Amino acid sequence: TQLLEQSPQFLSIQEGENLTVYCNSSSVFSSLQWYRQEPGEGPVLLVTVVTGGEVKKLKRLTFQFGDARKDSSLHITAAQPGDTGLYLCAGDRSGANNLFFGTGTRLTVIP
């Protein structure tokens, strides 16, 4: 069973549109991280959220951690072709030595 479910699994949008990716779980996490992965490369960290209800902005990307620390969302405003990639959320459970990665969302932004 997958601890973190992401939706949608695939997303194809036109340049300039807005989008939201969701990362949901029934478990509580100490913190949650978002990564972006380009084809043939390893994932790269975008942001870490640690407080319930926290909102972090990274240029056109807005990340939110749910109040109960069980879910998170990533909103992209005015998507650009450079945003294309696989977006992965990853949760840190208290006492664990490893992250739990989500199922991934493949985003394609069409010029």
Q: b/e per residue, 49-61, with b = 16+ CB within 10 A?
A: beeeebebeeeeb
Site residues for another protein, 77-96, by CB under 8 A, read 86, 88, 90, 92
Which among 4, 12, 22, 19 has a CA at the least distance from the CA of 98? 4
State the amino acid at position 40 in one-letter form. G
Residue the block writes with tokens 């490369």: 41
CA distance 4 to 63: 16
**Is 102 near another protein (CB under 8 A)?**
yes
Nearer Cβ to another protein, position 14 or 97?
Answer: 97
Site residues for another protein, 14-53, by CB under 8 A, read 31, 33, 35, 40-45, 48
Nearer Cβ to another protein, position 2 or 77?
Answer: 2
Q: Are strands 61-65 and 71-76 parallel, antiparallel or unpaired?
A: antiparallel
Nearer Cβ to another protein, position 27 or 77?
Answer: 27
**Is 73 near another protein (CB under 8 A)?**
no
List of residues contacting another protein (CB under 8 A): 2, 6, 31, 33, 35, 40-45, 48, 86, 88, 90, 92, 97-99, 101-104, 106
